[in-house]
Structure 1
Amino acid sequence: MPQALLLGLHLRDAAGLRPEEGHLPPADPPLTPRVRVPGAEAAAAQWSRWWAAALADEHAALAGILPPSFTGLRGMPELRGVAELLLDDALEWSAWQRERESRLLRRLPSALFEVGLVRDLELGLGRRLPPVDLELVVLPVRGRSWSRLGDGRFLLPLELRADRDAYLAWLGERLRELMHAPRPSVAPGRPGSVDPGPPDPGPCRDE
């Protein structure tokens, strides 16, 4: 799970912000708002801008949301106030969520099943598959509704990712879609690519 996005998710829900887009479900387990935020409407609009930038560049977003300078929140005074109040809690919560993800995925590993899924697709097609660039952004949000972030990039709820059967069914559908879409060439061994032949460990990478 990308830490910048975890921090942003916590700040939104713990501050009770309600961005107009409403595209991201609440955190799971839910977070109870802990503070009354002056200028909550402005903070929510600023959060939406910050979130869009964080999805585009998670590393810059993480560096920019940390004290003491909060460089990524310049021009966002209300959201910076939220970060100053809640960032310590957000850091603790994000560490717990990452440990939770690791524990859930260790319990039901899926890498070998991903390789088997690719093999089954190849058998059905009667040919080997070209590499497919696939990136999963996993977040602890309510429900199982996923969203498409861009070419071969998807946001998945942890609940869906941790259910191996449901995840493999979802992955199979996405691979079928991507196989029939025009794709730029991907160099063998590039991180995040699906290489149907050995020694590829699996068809996707999680963040």
Structure 2
Amino acid sequence: MQDVGAWGIDLTMPQSLLLALHLRDAAGLAPPTSPVLPDLPPLDPPVRRLHVEAGLEAASRQWADWWVERFPGGADALTSILPPRYPGLRGRTELRGIAELGMDDAVAWCARVREIEKRVIARSPSALFETNLVSGVERELGWRIRPFDLRILVLPVAGAHAWDVVGQPVISLGLRADRDAYLAWLREQLVAIGRLRIARSEGQNT
């Protein structure tokens, strides 16, 4: 997490969401979208397919329900999808069967993605880039940005994409890896934060 005085930018790739997305792709699930679940592209790197034929429609609905309950991830979300008890999959028989079949592959794939993430971080903008970007946005707006913590979820899906998921910024690892695209996207977030907070301040003073 980059933390400079009154602001912080935290990019995180929750393990629970990685495991869930692996199960989605490995089983060929097609979960219904919702405000909490955008139409996320396939994973990159791609995953090995499981031999699952029955119960895919039910498992897809169960997967979407799990995602809505557990987004944006965290310790409870991770515990809920892990063996041996899979507590978050209780009553979701078809999805639990897929998890039992594919969790070993999912964990191995996640380890591979973590190595890719390390390489991306090594090539990505440093804290200095983000500090300079905040300063530049403040000069553009003409005022200091009020204290904020910006938590950004990063998902290893194909392409360079960004989503606003019920107020939670989500980006693809491909966008994070593209320095210019990432900084352009981050600048938009900082401008929005700066304008929103000054608007709130003015509203409180009227």
In structure 1, the residue corresponding to 2:71 is in which secondary structure?
A: helix
Give identity over the alignment, percent. 51
Q: How far apart, CA to CA, are the structure 2 residues paired with 1:119 and 1:53?
A: 37
Q: 2:126 aligns with which of 89, 93, 110?
A: 110
> Which structure's relative contact order is higher, taking Cα pairs within 8 Å and 6+ residues apart?
2
Maintained 8 Å contact 2:31/2:64: yes
Q: How far apart, CA to CA, are the structure 1 residues paired with 2:73 and 2:15?
A: 12
Say if 2:14 is the partner of 1:2. yes
> In the alignment, what sits opposite 2:6?
none
> In the alignment, what sits opposite 2:183?
168
What is the CA-CA distance between 1:180 and the residue it aligns to?
1.4
The runs of 5 or more residues in structure 2 that have no matched partner are: 1-12, 202-206
Q: TM-score scaled to structure 2, two decimals?
A: 0.83
Q: How far apart, CA to CA, are the structure 2 residues paired with 1:182 and 1:119?
A: 16
> In the alignment, what sits opposite 1:25?
41
Say if 2:113 is the partner of 1:101. no
Per-residue deviation, residues 3-32 of structure 1 (Å, max 9, x unmatched): 000000100000111112262111112234
Q: 1:11 aligns with which of 23, 40, 52?
A: 23
Amino acid at match of 2:27: A
Comparing 140-149 with 79-88, greater Cα deviation is found at 140-149
What is the CA-CA distance between 1:92 and the residue it aligns to?
0.6
Maintained 8 Å contact 2:141/2:194: no
> In the alignment, what sits opposite 1:43?
59
What is the CA-CA distance between 1:48 and the residue it aligns to?
0.3
Q: How far apart, CA to CA, are the structure 2 residues paired with 1:182 and 1:115?
A: 19
1:149–1:20 CA distance, 2 compared to 1 (3 A): closer
Per-residue deviation, residues 105-131 of structure 1 (Å, max 9, x unmatched): 112343110100011112223332211
In structure 1, the residue corresponding to 2:113 is in which secondary structure?
A: helix
1:147–1:98 CA distance, 2 compared to 1 (3 A): same
RMSD: 1.9
Amino acid at match of 1:63: T
In structure 2, the residue corresponding to 1:135 is in which secondary structure?
A: strand
> In the alignment, what sits opposite 2:3?
none
What is the CA-CA distance between 1:149 and the residue it aligns to?
2.1
1:69–1:50 CA distance, 2 compared to 1 (3 A): same
Q: How far apart, CA to CA, are the structure 1 residues paired with 2:123 and 2:182?
A: 14
Maintained 8 Å contact 1:146/1:155: yes
Q: How far apart, CA to CA, are the structure 1 residues paired with 2:20 and 2:41?
A: 13
Pairing 1:152-167 to 2, within 5 Å after superposition: 153-167=168-182
Maintained 8 Å contact 1:141/1:158: yes
Comparing 26-35 with 62-71, greater Cα deviation is found at 26-35
Maintained 8 Å contact 2:29/2:57: yes
Maintained 8 Å contact 1:138/1:155: yes
> In the alignment, what sits opposite 1:91?
107
Maintained 8 Å contact 2:155/2:172: yes
Higher relative helix content: 2
> In the alignment, what sits opposite 1:79?
95
